[in-house]
Amino acid sequence: MSPTQWDLPVELCCRPMAFVTLTGLDVVYNAVHRAVWDAFCANRRADRVPISFKVLPGDHEYPKCRPKRTSYEWYIPKGILKTGWMNKHLNLVPALVVVFYELDWDEPQWKEKQSECATRVEIVRQSLQGRNTKVAVVLIQKKTPLPPGEDVIASERAAALCNACELSGKSLFVLPHTDHLVGYIIRLENAFYEHAQTYYYTEIRRVKSHKEFLNKTTHQLLFVRHQFKIAFFSELKQDTQNALKNYRTAYNLVHELRAHETNILEIKTMAGFINYKICRLCFQHNTPLDAIAQFRKHIDLCKKKIGSAELSFEHAAWMSKQFQAFGDLFDEAIKLGLTAIQTQNPGFYYQQAAYYAQERKQLAKSLCNHEASIMYPNPDPLETQTGVLDFYGQRSWRQGILSFDLSDPEKEKVGVLAIQLKERNVAHSEIIITLLSNAVAQFKKYKCPRMKSHLMVQMGEEYYYAKDYTKALKLLDYVMCDYRSEGWWTLLTSILTTALKCSYLMAQLKDYITYSLELLGRASTLKDDQKSRIEKNLINVLMNESPDPEPDCDIFAVKTAQKLWADRISLAGSNIFTIGVQDFVPFVQCKAKFHAPSFHVDVPVEFDIYLKADCPHPIRFSKLCVSFNNQEYNQFCVIEEASKANEVLENPTQGKMCLVPGKTRKLLFKFVAKTEDVGKKIEITSVDLALGNETGRCVVLNWQGGGGDAASSQEALQAARSFKRRPKLPDNEVHWDSIIIQASTMIISRVPNISVHLRHEPPALTNEMYCLVVTVQSHEKTQIRDVKLTAGLKPGQDANLTQKTHVTLHGTELCDESYPALLTDIPVGDLHPGEQLEKMLYVRCGTVGSRMFLVYVSYLINITAEEKEIVCKCHKDETVTIETVFPFDVAVKFVSTKFEHLERVYADIPFLLMTDLLSASPWALTVVSSELQLAPSMTTVDQLESQVDNVVLQTGESASECFCLRCPSLGNVEGGVATGHYIISWKRTSAMENIPVIRTVITLPHVIVENIPLHVNADLPSFGRVRESLPVKYHLQNKTDFVQDVEISVEPSDAFMFSGLKQIRLPAQAFYSYQYFCQATGSTHG
């Protein structure tokens, strides 16, 4: 966009820098000069002094200085600030003119050169006549200068040169053209900067000196002008604090001026300029609050200063610019490190600027609606001789006229007309949209999503006014969902209305239909008459006709649109539109509900589709189809009503597919599920409802899943929370809110009609072939086929159980590791109604503990459902928990031949092994036989015959056996000597003949064997007779390898008489046994 009247001038917005001109440099042909110039202007970073340089020829004509005024008495200023003034001091009148001259101290033709240099300086001085501009001379030298004071010729000649040029020593510089050029240049420019500051200081003093001549009545304008100039010079001097102070004074002075319709624009323009400067400096000084406060003050003071009513759009334009400029300043400051917050960011200013731009547009629309016959005035009253105004903010046709009375009302009229006609050509919408999009960018940054949406709506509306309907729709469509999701229906309706207009004007069929659907729906807050109109239009569109234009549309745009719609009709093409409803709120609601969460495969699956229309008139749909995750069912769930296109509104209350507004329509669907789907979920993936038909145009509303649109989840939540009592409705009607969507159902197998019984005698005994009798009886009315049995350990238990449990159908042989834990699919044939079959299963459990066993019977049966023959697979299962216990406990002990308990046995001395078998089974056990398998270290004394063959043990009874054994001497064995195994063969007493006998092997305990040195064995008769001798024989056996001395003494009891040696000593040789007799006689008395 080219700068407009309202844009702030560049010279105001830039940062003022001291202006220094460089003369005598030939930057085109002289390489040295070029290098010097480059060093001045390249890389001007922030650390370099703020100077703007310009190369000018030595004889450049500077702006002429007006003769000094000696008295202000008769002077009447014509305006506040000349339009050229700022530019003049920024770019035309230098603070310092530098004359570059190539001259070395040892120049042979010194005299000539010196006078040439003096002439050059003189020419510059001539052209700066009357100005305080400083002049400086820089000698470009080839040689590096000697340190000061050492070069006598140099100091002499320098003094002479200063004299000739009338320069002070401070204004003469030497620039050796050596390697360190940049360093010299930086030193030079610092020196220039000092000179420039002095210049601006004197300028400030000069302006201030005028003050005393001024009086308050005639020179009010000058007060402002001078104050502004002082501030501006201070800025040039980089004294921003004083600049700010002076601008503030100037600002107050501007508002003290007498304002009138004729000069209000000038006052506002200047106030705007000064305000801009103040705000800019405040931000620069990092006092943003001051800037904001100043701006607020400025706006409050100027808001009401509208000026001429006929040109009130100018005020709006000016206000808009004020806000925009402040927004820009604020944004600039943020980029330099200021932090803004949600409630105070540049966005608000851009937004306000946009509002004023909108106001400007409105005002312009009402003020500039001249008829086309009115021509732009000629000559152009807005033209000036120079092409620019003399003073900021004045009218071109009465420049410099300060009188408040209009000297020439006719001229004024023409001028106003010219401005108004010009305003008509302004692209207002473009300005507004730019400002709004600036604001959007800001609000996005400062976490204001709703503000952003609001501004985007405004942008969309502005695009609509600007007739850029595509962009308008894009924006509106983008923000609609925000308002929809938060439930602000009034706002949504307003946006939709604009969107509908856009889509109408562009003849965008799909958009037009979508927006119509929503505007007819429950989210729309439109009045019924509007809804009726939209519904009628929608039906027209569906019948392949053009809709009526939307109200309040531009007449020309409507004409174009009508043509477009006509083209659409003739244009062949796809006339079926599928619209997904999950993102908006259409006027038809849909809910699907299966009657039950699960259905048996032999009964038809039933569900209802509920429909409800919210539009004002009854409406007829052409088709409803339901889609499932298994597409085979889709064909069963279609309702189609053949109706001609023009019947959409006829016979409104007849037919299934005609919806009466506000009434809930229930449509029942039924189908038989496939047997393959048993155990699966049937889900409604979508519901499609078609409006219109293929001959005209057709809209297919598509609900994902079991219905529901953008608003329904919130509504469902509300309905669930609500405890309102709903009024009673007639029987076949339901409350819409009370319908809960149920979009899926499970298909489960048919209920089996057989009985499965298990007969067994728990608990099971370890390792036995436990018998489980399964009885299956059919209660079906027809024959069942393919009956199969799966039985065994229920899967999913402890993995170890699987290793230790084995199942077989054959009880006659013991099963081993190779048998499975679960027998699957054992075919048992067919069963007639009422028939019963029995199957025996044998389970062998290797460990104790409880196990779950599963018996699962499946079969096929032919069923007729909904006149369709289907083969159903039914199954029934039974589980049973069986405990496994040890059948008996076996106790083993060692005793001496005298049945004395032995801790240990003696080598070669016989002892007894006693086994004790205690039945723990609740059922009678038959011990078929037992067997003792001796370890090689043990020998038997007599026969090892089983003593418990075929003994039946009831619960708690025990069977004992006794074996006489001897253990030969083995030396000292750690942990004792292995004894052997005790093997018991047994079965349940109740078990059948053919059931194998179970052998239970018991490992006998180890026994400690000890060697003894001497073994005494007494041989006593079993009885004696009174007064007869009783021979007593003692065997003494030496078990050692050595001869032992044995001393034997016999101490008879008093009941016996004793004969024989009472005490003997004899050597007992190794491995010899001795018999020793003694006789005792005795009598017993009474």
Partner 1 sequence: MPLIPSLWESKANRSLEFSCLRPALGAGAGSCVTSGGSRDAARAGPPKLAVCIAVIAKENYPFYIRSTPTENELKFHYMVHTSLDVVDEKISAMAKALVDQRELYLDLLYPTEDYKVYGYVTNSKVKFVMVVDSSNTALRDNEIRSMFRKLHNSYTDVMCNPFYNPGDCIQSRAFDNMVTSMMIQVC
Place of tokens 């104790």: 848
Q: Which stretch binds partner 1 (CB under 8 A): 37-45, 242-250, 807-815, 950-958?
A: 242-250
C-alpha span between 41 and 33 (Å, rounded): 12
- Nearest distance, CB of residue 706 and partner 1, angstroms: 23
β strands within 418-566, DSSP E: none
Instruction: Please list every residue from 733 through 772 that binds partner 1, using CB under 8 A.
Output: none
- Nearest distance, CB of residue 238 and partner 1, angstroms: 18
248 lines the binding site for partner 1 (CB under 8 A) = yes
Selected from 395, 454, 531, 568, the binder of partner 1 by CB under 8 A is: 454
Structural tokens at position 482:
């925000």
724 lines the binding site for partner 1 (CB under 8 A) = yes
- Nearest distance, CB of residue 303 and partner 1, angstroms: 8
939-940, strands of its sheet edge to edge: 888-896, 911-919, 958-966, 939-940
Structural tokens at position 774:
């399964």
Look at the chain and count its residues. 1086
CA distances (Å), origin 440, targets 435, 468, 565? 9, 19, 35
C-alpha span between 256 and 279 (Å, rounded): 20
CA 741 to chain centroid: 28
- Nearest distance, CB of residue 497 and partner 1, angstroms: 11
205 lines the binding site for partner 1 (CB under 8 A) = no
C-alpha span between 637 and 624 (Å, rounded): 8
Selected from 723, 903, 950, 1045, the binder of partner 1 by CB under 8 A is: 723
Selected from 494, 749, 896, 958, the binder of partner 1 by CB under 8 A is: 494
Selected from 91, 490, 582, 933, the binder of partner 1 by CB under 8 A is: 490
In terms of CB distance, is 331 or 602 closer to partner 1?
331
CA distances (Å), origin 300, targets 296, 297, 529? 6, 5, 45
Kindly give the residue spans of alpha helices, DSSP state H, lying in 762-880.
799-803
Selected from 245, 413, 876, 999, the binder of partner 1 by CB under 8 A is: 245
Strand pairing report for 134-141 and 96-102: parallel
In terms of CB distance, is 348 or 633 closer to partner 1?
348
552 lines the binding site for partner 1 (CB under 8 A) = no
Contact map string, positions 282 to 301, toward partner 1, x by CB under 8 A:
------xxx-xxx-xx-xx-
722 lines the binding site for partner 1 (CB under 8 A) = yes
Q: Which stretch binds partner 1 (CB under 8 A): 36-44, 241-249, 698-706, 1075-1083?
A: 241-249
355 lines the binding site for partner 1 (CB under 8 A) = yes
653 lines the binding site for partner 1 (CB under 8 A) = no
CA 707 to chain centroid: 26
- Nearest distance, CB of residue 345 and partner 1, angstroms: 8
| Sign of the dihedral defined by the CA atoms of residues 429, 435, 437, 443, in that order | negative
- Nearest distance, CB of residue 272 and partner 1, angstroms: 17
Place of tokens 């706002």: 491
Place of tokens 């350990």: 793
359 lines the binding site for partner 1 (CB under 8 A) = no
29 lines the binding site for partner 1 (CB under 8 A) = no
In terms of CB distance, is 322 or 921 closer to partner 1?
322
Selected from 363, 440, 491, 690, the binder of partner 1 by CB under 8 A is: 491
Selected from 71, 339, 943, 1049, the binder of partner 1 by CB under 8 A is: 339
In terms of CB distance, is 727 or 1086 closer to partner 1?
727
Instruction: Please list every residue from 470 through 489 that binds partner 1, using CB under 8 A.
Output: 483, 486-488
CA distances (Å), origin 322, targets 186, 279, 300, 327, 350? 39, 11, 12, 9, 10
Angle 684-685-689 (CA atoms, 0-180°, nearest 5)? 90
- Nearest distance, CB of residue 66 and partner 1, angstroms: 35
Count CB atoms within 10 A of the CB of residue 867: 6
Selected from 348, 391, 397, 587, the binder of partner 1 by CB under 8 A is: 348
Selected from 368, 451, 691, 699, the binder of partner 1 by CB under 8 A is: 451
C-alpha span between 173 and 193 (Å, rounded): 14
- Nearest distance, CB of residue 280 and partner 1, angstroms: 15
In terms of CB distance, is 454 or 851 closer to partner 1?
454
C-alpha span between 447 and 442 (Å, rounded): 9
C-alpha span between 251 and 16 (Å, rounded): 19
Tell me if 400 sits within 8 A of 78, measured CB to CB.
yes
340 lines the binding site for partner 1 (CB under 8 A) = yes
Count CB atoms within 10 A of the CB of residue 757: 13
Tell me if 1082 sits within 8 A of 1060, measured CB to CB.
no
- DSSP structure class, residue 403: -
893 — phi, psi (to 5°)? -145, 160
# residues contacting partner 1 (CB under 8 A): 44
- Nearest distance, CB of residue 483 and partner 1, angstroms: 8
| Sign of the dihedral defined by the CA atoms of residues 650, 656, 658, 660, in that order | positive
Tell me if 139 sits within 8 A of 174, measured CB to CB.
yes
- Nearest distance, CB of residue 867 and partner 1, angstroms: 48
Structural tokens at position 89:
């001091």
Half-sphere exposure of 602 (CA within 13 A, CB side): 14
- Nearest distance, CB of residue 561 and partner 1, angstroms: 25
Tell me if 901 sits within 8 A of 866, measured CB to CB.
no
In terms of CB distance, is 72 or 736 closer to partner 1?
736
Selected from 12, 154, 448, 843, the binder of partner 1 by CB under 8 A is: 448
322 lines the binding site for partner 1 (CB under 8 A) = no
Selected from 180, 450, 785, 1035, the binder of partner 1 by CB under 8 A is: 450
In terms of CB distance, is 444 or 1006 closer to partner 1?
444
Q: Which stretch binds partner 1 (CB under 8 A): 529-537, 719-727, 940-948, 1060-1068?
A: 719-727
Place of tokens 């009148």: 93
- DSSP structure class, residue 92: I
769-778, strands of its sheet edge to edge: 754-759, 769-778, 836-845, 805-808
Tell me if 940 sits within 8 A of 913, measured CB to CB.
no
Selected from 70, 129, 217, 343, the binder of partner 1 by CB under 8 A is: 343
Q: Which stretch binds partner 1 (CB under 8 A): 141-149, 447-455, 505-513, 819-827?
A: 447-455
C-alpha span between 200 and 232 (Å, rounded): 10
Structural tokens at position 1034:
């003692």
In terms of CB distance, is 189 or 482 closer to partner 1?
482
Selected from 242, 344, 540, 985, the binder of partner 1 by CB under 8 A is: 344
- Nearest distance, CB of residue 142 and partner 1, angstroms: 53
- The helix or strand, by DSSP H or E, that contains position 438, with its residue range, turns out to be helix 428-445
Instruction: Please list every residue from 687 through 716 that binds partner 1, using CB under 8 A.
Output: 714
- Mention every residue, 6+ apart, whose C-beta is less than 8 A from residue 92: 19, 62, 63
In terms of CB distance, is 244 or 645 closer to partner 1?
244
249 lines the binding site for partner 1 (CB under 8 A) = no
Selected from 721, 868, 901, 1025, the binder of partner 1 by CB under 8 A is: 721
- Nearest distance, CB of residue 334 and partner 1, angstroms: 11
Residues in the site for partner 1, rule: CB under 8 A?
Answer: 244-245, 248, 288-290, 292-294, 296-297, 299-300, 338-344, 348, 352, 355, 447-451, 454, 457, 483, 486-488, 490-491, 494, 714, 717-718, 721-724
